[in-house]
A and B are shown apart, each in its own frame.
Chain A
Amino acid sequence: DQQVKQNSPSLSVQEGRISILNCDYTNSMFDYFLWYKKYPAEGPTFLISISSIKDKNEDGRFTVFLNKSAKHLSLHIVPSQPGDSAVYFCAARGTDKLIFGTGTRLQVFP
């Protein structure tokens, strides 16, 4: 039972444009959400997070939006850069562990 879902396995975006990565979750008890970025042969690195008491959090080119009623969050990257090409995982904190989605591979092309 996948509690955190990323339904798009891949996304291709032109450099300079906006990248939007989506994530859905099923458990309304989740109260903290995170996005991680992962390059091949490296561990994931933390990108940005949002508490369930907020609906938006922004950090430079990265913005995370949370829609609790729809149990949906999204990561916006603008403008997208070639160095953003990686796999992005969303995660939700349930009690004392992080539950991850299946990941979306973002490719930013020139």
Chain B
Amino acid sequence: DVKVTQSSRYLVKRTGEKVFLECVQDMDHENMFWYRQDPGLGLRLIYFSYDVKMKEKGDIPEGYSVSREKKERFSLILESASTNQTSMYLCASSPGNLNTEAFFGQGTRLTVV
């Protein structure tokens, strides 16, 4: 069964902290993505990766970085958390074939106080 696992369901962090969000997939997918979901704004792409050690900026990369050292793991890093980064963060993966769906993790609700 397809599985994308995010390390935390809920996180509360303080302003200025460095925050790591981890995502692991067990499907041997080439592509991995980080989105954030905010009311009225839908899902916005932060970063994506189509191979190990490769990364591409999405639509809203400012304030974030990513790491993909292994194929199955894609980490999102908030270098210095701010209150406007309070959001639902969603990780997804998909095969290299473009005409297939992406599979999502359960999401991490991050609150920055």
Residues B41 and A98 in contact, CB atoms below 8 Å apart: no
- Interface residue from B31, B48, B101, B107 paired with A43 (Cβ < 8 Å): B107
Residues on B close to A: CB < 8 A?
A: 4, 9, 31, 33, 35, 40-45, 48, 50, 56, 58, 90, 92, 94, 98-99, 101-107, 109
User: How long is the Cα–Cα vector from A98 to B101 in the complex, in angstroms?
Assistant: 9
Question: A residues within 8 Å of B by Cβ?
Answer: 6, 9, 31-32, 34, 36, 41-46, 49, 51, 89, 91, 93, 96-103
* Given known A-B contacts A43-B4, A44-B43, A96 and B31 have beta carbons under 8 A apart: yes
Chain A residue at minimal CB-CB distance from B42: A102
Main secondary structure of the interface of A (DSSP, over half): strand
Closest 6 CB pairs of A and B: A43-B104, A102-B42, A100-B43, A46-B101, A32-B99, A44-B104
Q: Considering only CB atoms, which chain B residue lies closest to A49 in the complex?
A: B101
